[in-house]
Amino acid sequence: FLDPISTGFFVTTAASSTFFMLAEITGLTSLRCKINFMECCNKHHIKPNFTGLEYDLKNKLYGQDLVFTTVLRSVKSHIENPNPSKALVMSFHGWTGSGKNYVTQMIVNNLYVKKLRSSFVHVFNAEVDFKHQSQLQHYKDQLQIWLHGNVTKCGKSIFIFDEMDHMPEGLVDAVKPYLGNNPSIHGVDYRKCIFIFLSNTGGKEINKKCLETWRSGYSRSTIKLSDMQELLERVAFNDKSGFRLSGIVEKNLIDHFVPFFPLEREHVEKCIKDEIKKLNLKRQILSSEVNEIMDELQWIPTDLRLYSKSGCKRIAQKVGLVLAT
């Protein structure tokens, strides 16, 4: 039998050496995080910069007033809340080239030090990652295992699902259990995560609403988020897309359906000027050159030519084309 006194000493000595060992390990880990040797799920590598996000959304994103307020407020309130009741789930809808990926990048860039290269930022492209409807069950299983693994590593992860219009029907419901109010699923808490879905679904309806507002003589800034929520929810649930008949829409697990409006001439002109600025040309740009670039784009509706058919996509190529000649 061990003597109680020496046992006490043994326990104390063992405990203190374990304590020093742990301190050394954690100290080393913290040092490794600080010197960027490894990415850590803490304040060294997850540094929300709301001033930066507000600046980017206000100054670099054109024609999307609703997106500005919805995204800024929802991201800020979710991250500042020490105990969010559920993961933040946003679904971005709109015409091609209207800024959905661009805004997603702004969010990532202002939250994670390593930006898109962060191992806590996960991007799926339905067209690439979930190509085959026949592998639906396999994708579902993989997605769940994978979500569990990644959120175990870092509870403040962000998941981006691009091209939702091309996702096999039924697949998105694999993430449904993680979007609700469950404090823990198999020991993992998903409530600090952010999920963003991107799609063109509802783009036509958004454009139609903007056009009707324009025809009635009102500015599109009079359109409220609440005017669009029900419409987008309905279109997402019924139209052919990854959301069709999905439980996450039915059970109201998407916090915000965010509409991206089509870009008008004044917005596209700003995109063109931004692209030209990047070229660092040593001469003034003529307004005739800007108009020439605008003419290279297609405009809809064809009779009114109000909105760019490709938004601000392909602007760099058109700038190159016109200025190189």
242 is a contact residue toward ligand ATP (CB under 6 A) = no
Q: Out of 57, 99, 171, 299, name the contact with ligand ATP by CB under 6 A.
A: 99
Which CB sits closer to ligand ATP, 174 or 312? 312
Judged by CB under 6 A, the residue of 88, 102, 118, 259 near ligand ATP is 102
Q: Between residue 244 and residue 263, which ones bind ligand ATP under the rule CB under 6 A?
A: 263
Detail the DSSP E strand segments found in the chain: 88-94, 121-125, 158-162, 194-199, 256-260, 299-300, 307-308
Peptide bond into 301 cis (omega under 30): yes
Three-state SS at 161: strand
User: If binding is defined by CB under 6 A, does position 100 make contact with ligand ATP?
Assistant: yes
Q: How far from 154 is each of 82, 121, 147, CA to CA, in Å?
A: 15, 10, 10
Binding mask 6-35 for ligand ATP (x = CB under 6 A): ------------------------------
Closer of 29 and 213 to ligand ATP (Cβ): 213
| Residue (46 or 196) nearer to ligand ATP, CB | 196
The CB-of-103 to ligand ATP minimum distance in angstroms stands at 7
Should residue 106 be labelled a site residue for ligand ATP when binding is judged by CB under 6 A? no
Between residue 159 and residue 218, which ones bind ligand ATP under the rule CB under 6 A?
200
**Which region among 62-70, 113-121, 143-151, 250-258 touches ligand ATP (by CB under 6 A)?**
62-70
Tokens 């020093």 found at = 20
Token look-up 């994103």 returns: 61
Cα distance between residue 263 and residue 280, in whole Å: 25
* 64 makes contact with ligand ATP (CB under 6 A): yes
DSSP 130-143: S--GGGHHHHHHHH
User: Residue from 29, 74, 101, 291 that binds ligand ATP (CB under 6 A)?
Assistant: 101
Per the document, the length of the chain is: 325
The pair of structure tokens assigned to 177 is 């259990």
**Closest to ligand ATP by CB, 32 or 273:** 273
Least distance from ligand ATP to the Cβ atom of residue 270, Å: 7
- The CB-of-255 to ligand ATP minimum distance in angstroms stands at 20
Instruction: Tokens for 78, please give them.
Output: 């979710």
Q: Which two tokens stand for residue 268?
A: 């596209």
> For ligand ATP, which residue of 97, 202, 259, 262 counts as binding (CB under 6 A)?
97
Residue 118, classed as helix, strand or coil, is coil
Stretch that binds ligand ATP, among 15-23, 55-63, 173-181, 286-294 (CB under 6 A): 55-63
Does 91 participate in binding ligand ATP (rule CB under 6 A)? no
Please, are residues 249 and 228 in contact by the beta-carbon 8 Å criterion? no
DSSP characters over 182-251: -S-BTTB--TT-EEEEEE-TTHHHHHHHHHHHHHTT--GGG--HHHHHHHHHHHHHHSSSTTTT-HHHHT
Q: How many residues bind ligand ATP (CB under 6 A)?
A: 18
Task: State the sign of the Cα–Cα–Cα–Cα dihedral 204, 206, 210, 215.
Answer: positive
Binding span for ligand ATP by CB under 6 A among 7-15, 60-68, 153-161, 169-177: 60-68
Q: Which is nearer to ligand ATP, 63 or 259 (CB)?
A: 63
> Judged by CB, which is closer to ligand ATP: 101, or 150?
101
Residue type, 49: N
Nearer to ligand ATP, 98 or 110 (CB): 98
The footprint of ligand ATP (CB under 6 A) covers 61-64, 94, 96-102, 200, 263, 271, 311-313
